[in-house]
Amino acid sequence: MGEFPNKTMRCWIETTCDIFLEPERFCDIVVFIDIKIHAQDGSFMATCALRIRGFRQRLFSLQRLSIAVILMLLGFGACKASAATEPAGYAALVTLFQQWREFEHPTLKGWLPDYSASAMAAKAAALPGWRKRLDAIDTSAWPIAQQNDYKLVKAEMNGLDFNLRVLRPWARDPAFYVSVWSFRSDVPLREGPTSYPEVLLYTYKWPLSPTAQSELAAKIGMVPAFLDEARVNLKDANARDIWVYGEQELRGQSQILASLEAGTLTVRTLEGSQHATLAGVSQDLLDAVANARKATDEFVGWLEHEAPSKTGPSGVGKENYTWYQQNVHFSPYTWDEEVVLLHRELERAQASLRLEEHRNRNLPPLEPAANAEVFAKLNHDHLDKFVNFLVQQQIIPDKPYLKAALEPQLGEFVPEEKRVFFTRVTHREPMLLLSHDYHWIDDARMRDEPYPSPIRSVASLYDIWDTRAEGFATAFEELLMHAGLYDDNPRAKELVWIMLANRAARGLASLYVQANEWNLTQAGQFQGKWTPRGWAKANDTLTPFEQLLYLRQPGYGTSYVTGKALFDRLMTEYSQQQELAGKPFVLRDFMDKFNSEGMIPVPLMETEMISKDAMEP
């Protein structure tokens, strides 16, 4: 063997084997081995990920092992490597996926993206070629999980197609041009149409190193030119609600930059928060931040000046909405079916609330925390109670990241006059939002236990995961109530139904907005009217923000309820599958399998977790 150049190479290997698990039972096992080889001294690091259908993945690392050991691992038991068929085809999909992700991004000049009409027309002209390459891959002999990875790539291509034909955020949506962010979203990627590249202040370690200062100055330095481009790209926009309500999103960017200049900005991520300060940084970075804030303020002024001329509808219409849900988000529902489903959930939540209130009529009301000290104690005590409940009641296993993912997200005390819907809930019982904050557990799992597939190990674009992320988080609230989380505090059960009623009301409103039957003012009024106890207000700081997001991202507002329905279906079918096999339903086993699927839409999980004879027709 000739000498290798002095550099590191990387490859990954996949093979499929039969593994003997118990008497008379064999299971398919997929082995992914990611190998980084340092060619000069022959040493390498290999990460091996084993995935067995119906079992959690197993990850382990191998350091400075001989290649013979790797080959032995690939050949253990009754392994049957199929290098000439499946892996080659799947490897082609992975390569296509990686190239697709590069294409999906806008072209850049330095850090400045190009979302001009000509650039987007070029994307549209090239898209059929990408679809042709995908269509040429034969998946007929692949395992279901790999076929689903293929479907995820196809859904992303459909998402770009929809954006190019219908949504066109770069040409209709001023909020698309927000690019500076101080906090990590709790879901896999930031919700809604988002421009690239994002300036993610929370990804830096503060105080900034000289290298980080230089990079951040360049990134923030592109903001004035980007907003100049926005004026050109938005010149023919006429979607009134998206325009008028979007102004507030740009004001938010200005506030972030002003706080950064003032030294009062806190940035938040999965691991916690940092104080972001510009003390001692370069003049280039100081100038870049000041210029970006000034350009943002001027852009807001331009939006305000142009607003009176914007008179057109903002929704995508029923037919487009249904196409998007079914071809990008894997939803089985049409616009009309979602209306029926959300009306039913609103009615069920309201009726269940009144029955729970009747049951608790002789109990004292659940009062909110009176001050910051009481609220802090309530938060931390109930965090411990919540995590212990999950583990001791055998709902999910204990993990090092379980409490660590939730603790940094605990809220701070908010005075009564400044509270919005969710703080009205958390100041009475923090575990309601801790249940929904399963998002952060999902995020930590993606970080620490990545799915072995290169396609599923990263978040899908276009919020394809919304029914899994938001739908399950909503379902988890009710699941834990039924599992006994609030048996010692019955009044807290009322909050579960209030939360569901709010989500059904706001989702219904978003449907009528997408159909161009309501505007955002009417949507906010409906959401406020049908949220129990008057806890949501049409003109507070939360409701307009939510309704704008659900207008900008079709289907996101309903995903909390539609995703919950899909999760309920999955649990029903899994229990039926167990019953047909003469086995009990074990919640922990079901949750392990559910979590092991990755952040993919629930209908795809169904094909991997449920046998055909147990599926509902």
Do 51 and 99 lie in one domain? The reply is no
At residue 5, the pLDDT reads 35
Low-confidence ranges of the chain (pLDDT < 50): 1-87
- Is residue 107, in this structure, part of any structural domain at all? yes
Do 399 and 430 lie in one domain? The reply is yes
Do 393 and 301 lie in one domain? The reply is no
**Nearest CA among 237, 76, 258, 191 for reference residue 461:** 191
Do 436 and 573 lie in one domain? The reply is yes
- Is residue 476, in this structure, part of any structural domain at all? yes
- Is residue 80, in this structure, part of any structural domain at all? no
> How many folded domains does the chain comprise?
4
Among the three residues 120, 155, 170, which one is the final residue of a domain in this structure? 170
User: Cα separation of 132 and 306, whole Å?
Assistant: 42
Do 467 and 351 lie in one domain? The reply is yes
Here the tokens at position 104 are 């999906």
- Is residue 79, in this structure, part of any structural domain at all? no
Among the three residues 266, 284, 314, which one is the final residue of a domain in this structure? 314
At residue 60, the pLDDT reads 39
Residue partners of 386: CB distance under 8 A and separation at least 6: 406, 430, 431, 434, 435, 485
Element (H, E) at 184: none
Do 538 and 556 lie in one domain? The reply is yes
Matching residue, tokens 């583990």: 391
273 φ, ψ (degrees, to nearest 5): -120, 160
Among the three residues 139, 170, 201, which one is the final residue of a domain in this structure? 170
Residue partners of 140: CB distance under 8 A and separation at least 6: none
- Is residue 543, in this structure, part of any structural domain at all? yes
At residue 88, the pLDDT reads 58
Matching residue, tokens 């090092």: 400
Identify the bridge partners of residue 16 per DSSP, sorted by sequence position: 30
- Is residue 382, in this structure, part of any structural domain at all? yes
Do 255 and 276 lie in one domain? The reply is yes
Please give the radius of gyration of the chain, using alpha carbons only, rounded to the nearest integer.
Answer: 25
Do 412 and 431 lie in one domain? The reply is yes
Do 307 and 330 lie in one domain? The reply is no
Give the domain extent around 41: 8-74
Element (H, E) at 259: helix 240-262
- In terms of DSSP bridges, do strands 58-63 and 265-269 run parallel, antiparallel, or are they unpaired? unpaired
Element (H, E) at 33: strand 25-38
Do 482 and 446 lie in one domain? The reply is yes
- Is residue 227, in this structure, part of any structural domain at all? yes
- Is residue 193, in this structure, part of any structural domain at all? yes
Alpha helices, H only, 307-410: 318-327, 335-359, 372-392, 400-406
Here the tokens at position 407 are 């603790």
Residue partners of 135: CB distance under 8 A and separation at least 6: none
284 φ, ψ (degrees, to nearest 5): -60, -45
Do 536 and 522 lie in one domain? The reply is yes
Do 427 and 464 lie in one domain? The reply is yes
